[in-house]
Amino acid sequence: MTDARPAATGPTEAPLIDPFARAITYLRVSVTDRCDLRCVYCMAENMTFLPKKDLLSLEELERLCSAFVDLGVRKLRITGGEPLVRRDIMTFFEAMGRRIGDGLDELTLTTNATQLRRFAKPLYDCGVRRVNVSLDTLDEGKFREITRWGRFAQVLDGLDAAQEAGLHVKINAVALKGVNDDEIRSMTRWCHDRGMDITFIEVMPMGDIGGEERLDQYMPLTAVREELAREFTLEDIPLSTGGPARYVRAKETGGRVGFITPLTHNFCESCNRVRLTCTGQLYMCLGQDDDADLRAVLRESADDAPVRQAIREAITRKPKGHDFDYSRREIRGEVGRHMSVTGG
């Protein structure tokens, strides 16, 4: 069965081009800083979350995202925290789903899968076709240690629900030395046996995570690829899903493996992304602290022209790249905000 949706039209205004001639076509939007897990590389165990008044309403999020689509953004990824814990979040997905074919090519999300049994079919019905699921281990005990709260069976059930609904699932696994480095090959086999891709990600220096040592967690993906090559024949492929991952195909399974390497081989030269927080701060780079306050502009006027102008001005400040670096056994380029604030 094929979708009856029309091909997306172009932007209604001149597209967003940054100072390095990169077109900005991909917006990642954090709709909440809250989550129902507490992963050790993402959050402190006892997080202090934002007061409700600081968050954009769902209507404000829709208005801002629509402004970005009008300016040429063609892919929208919804993140958190955990986006599906936000009350009435499906009204936002439904509203943005109506922009598919009207400027927007793709609406998708990153989730921990705990809520997918409830939301997988409604997500598909409003136009979502792909989801990324954060899952770092297949060992229930390790899962409890990494997430601090557990709910492993709920996550696996969510994966089943997603595939039953027709969603294509990609697993995102943060490579953690001494934690899941012995599961690299087994997780890849498990994903490919289920028809899912897997992407490995280097742990990034973002936020105070409550005493966990990132240098001790850090595993370069060169080591992950070497581990995979012990069992699989890896063939580089030119696949691009609009994000920073570089992909290979495992000849033995036919499945795909992605690598996101913000430290060992950054992807800044082709960066087409900006990130919007749940409070309306626009970060032009994941690894820089410069931001633009779109919430203030949004709330000052019902006219969207100032909002679009503020977006354009912010893009003129997009840097060439970030400065993450662990290479000298010290953290460089660290930023103070948690990943859950920026949007995973």
User: Is 52 annotated to bind ligand?
Assistant: no
pLDDT score for 211: 45
Residue 334 lies in a domain: yes
Q: Which domain holds residue 119?
A: 26-342
Residue 19 lies in a domain: no
Single out the residue of 108, 113, 79 nearest to residue 96, CA to CA.
108
Residue 21 lies in a domain: no
* Domain tally, the chain: 1
Dihedral of the alpha carbons of 134, 140, 142, 147, in degrees to the nearest 10: 50
Residue 16 lies in a domain: no
User: Is 204 annotated to bind ligand?
Assistant: yes
Single out the residue of 162, 169, 105, 174 nearest to residue 136, CA to CA.
174
User: Is 308 annotated to bind ligand?
Assistant: no
- Residue 212 to residue 84: CA distance in whole angstroms: 27
Residue 213 lies in a domain: yes
Over residues 272-288, the mean pLDDT reads 90
- Residue 135 to residue 147: CA distance in whole angstroms: 10
User: Is 126 annotated to bind ligand?
Assistant: no
Check if the beta carbon of residue 221 is closer than 8 Å to that of residue 200: yes
Q: Reply yes or no on whether the pLDDT at 147 is more than 60.
A: yes
User: Is 39 annotated to bind ligand?
Assistant: yes
User: Is 336 annotated to bind ligand?
Assistant: no
* DSSP letters spanning 191-217: HHHTT-EEEEEE---BS--SS--HHHH
User: Is 41 annotated to bind ligand?
Assistant: yes
User: Is 177 annotated to bind ligand?
Assistant: no
- pLDDT greater at residue 50 or residue 339: 50
Q: Reply yes or no on whether the pLDDT at 321 is more than 80.
A: no
User: Is 275 annotated to bind ligand?
Assistant: yes
For position 267, which CATH number holds?
3.20.20.70
User: Is 77 annotated to bind ligand?
Assistant: yes
Residue 272 lies in a domain: yes
Helix (H), strand (E) at residue 266:
none
User: Is 28 annotated to bind ligand?
Assistant: yes
User: Is 75 annotated to bind ligand?
Assistant: no
Over residues 176-190, the mean pLDDT reads 95
Residue 14 lies in a domain: no
Residue at token pair 């129902």: 36
Residue 2 lies in a domain: no
pLDDT in tens, 30-39: 999 999 888 8
Quote the pTM value: 0.86
pLDDT in tens, 210-259: 444 555 678 889 999 999 999 999 999 987 766 678 899 999 999 999 99
